[in-house]
Amino acid sequence: MTDSNPRLVTLDREANGIAVVSMRDAVGKNAFSEAFVADIEGCLAQAAADQEVKVIVLVGLPDVFASGAPRELLVKLARGEEVPSDILLSKAVLDQPVPVIAAMEGHATGGGLALGLCADIVLLARESRYGASFMNMGFTPGMGITRLLEHVLSPALAHELLYTGEFRRGTEFALRTGVNYVLPRAEIRPKAFDVAASIAEKPRVALETLKRWLSLDRRRAFEDTRTLETMMHEITFRQEAVRQRIEDEYVD
Amino acid sequence: MTREEILAVIKKHLADAVDDVDLDEIDPKKSMIDYGANSLDLVEVVSRSMRELKVKIPRAELNKLENIEGLVDLFEKTLQEKGG
């Protein structure tokens, strides 16, 4: 077992080649604070470097998978005091050499949803909610979600979620999407580990080779979005009303 | 708009948001959490109700509410101030 930081995100390696990255910042609700981002990037880097790992399961807290940028960071972005850096978090997941499974038992909002969508296999809980909340606060979406969402939803539905910022229940994704599994919350982890065990039976070289090919579209799409989403942020974060909207609409 | 009409709007969206809630059994003295609503369910119920009632209430005000009746009061007050 390896352990990067037991407080916010941890990495555990099971004997059968399954690595588990656990986001466990209950106080911060798995929002992307500086310390959280450093922790998760550390865990992902460690997992990527470990030749024994064949599949990674990304888990959050039972009620919150991940909730994106914290309010304070958004305010700083709106003031022009910081530039978004959490975009690299998407890349850290997309660039993992082996398949990643996102076991999203709890809510995932904004960048937290984007993070889960970087996984190769996505599981959502029927009773949790998922939403791209960026536009609620008056700025355009980030972390690659403008394209990542289309990997699991039809472009029409993805665009609706991006425009409206609605938090949709997992049940609403059950029949009309490409999400791998929509299950009762209690069944998410067992199913995720079941799938992981099946993947972990395969040779690492074959998994890496297939992953490189199957993830190519999303990795390319992500590179496009890095430039375009950053440009859109420069336009939208500059609007005077955004600061107030962040105060009014941020959900924590 | 009457209090009953406001309550009906909230109940409708609550019943849509959570499983196994019978519209007729919703007691306004209770909190939506009592009916199994989680934090984001609350956000969606309130957002959808605000949209239907055509009112806007700051989130800080909503955090003070203790039960469904409190939300009805707040919507009623806001609608009256708006002249509706």
B19 part of contact set with chain A, CB < 8 Å: yes
Of B17, B19, B59, the CB nearest to A249: B59
- CA nearest A121: which of A70, A56, A77, A63? A56
Q: What is the band of A243 on the pLDDT scale with cuts at 50, 70, 90?
A: confident
Domains and CATH numbers, chain B: 3-82 (1.10.1200.10)
Report, as an integer, the average pLDDT of A239-245: 87
In a domain, A219, yes or no: no
Which chain B residue has the Cα nearest residue A172? B17
**Chain-chain contact of B40 with A63 (C-beta, under 8 angstroms):** no
Overall domain count for chain A: 1
Tokens standing for A48? 């990527």
Give me the interface pTM, i.e. the ipTM.
0.81
CA dihedral A100, A105, A110, A115 (to 10 degrees): -10
A193-204 burial, b for 16+ CB within 10 Å, e for fewer?
bebbeebbeeeb
Q: Is residue A29 part of a domain?
A: yes
Which residues have CB under 8 Å from A34's CB, separation 6+?
A: none
Angle separating helix axes A155-164 and A145-152, nearest 10 degrees = 130
Residue A94 resides in a domain = yes
SS3 B65: coil
The residue from A107, A151, A159, A233 that is catalytic is A233
Sorted by sequence, the CB contacts under 8 Å of residue B49 that are 6+ apart come out as: B9, B10, B13, B71, B75
Q: Do A166 and B44 touch (CB under 8 A)?
A: yes
First to last CA, chain A: 32
Within 8 A of A63 by CB-CB distance, chain B residues are 38
Which H or E element spans position A195?
helix A185-200
Record the pTM: 0.91
Q: Measured between CB atoms, which of B40, B43, B58 is closest to A248?
A: B58
Tens digit of pLDDT for each residue in A106-141?
Answer: 999 999 999 999 999 999 999 999 999 999 999 999
Q: Quote the domain boundaries for residue A16.
A: 9-186
The average pLDDT across A165-187 equals 92
The residue written with tokens 């989130």 in the block is B59
Q: Is A151 a catalytic residue?
A: no
For the segment A47-73, the average pLDDT, to the nearest whole number, is 95
pLDDT at A93 over 60: yes
Is A101 in contact with A57 (CB distance < 8 Å)?
Answer: yes
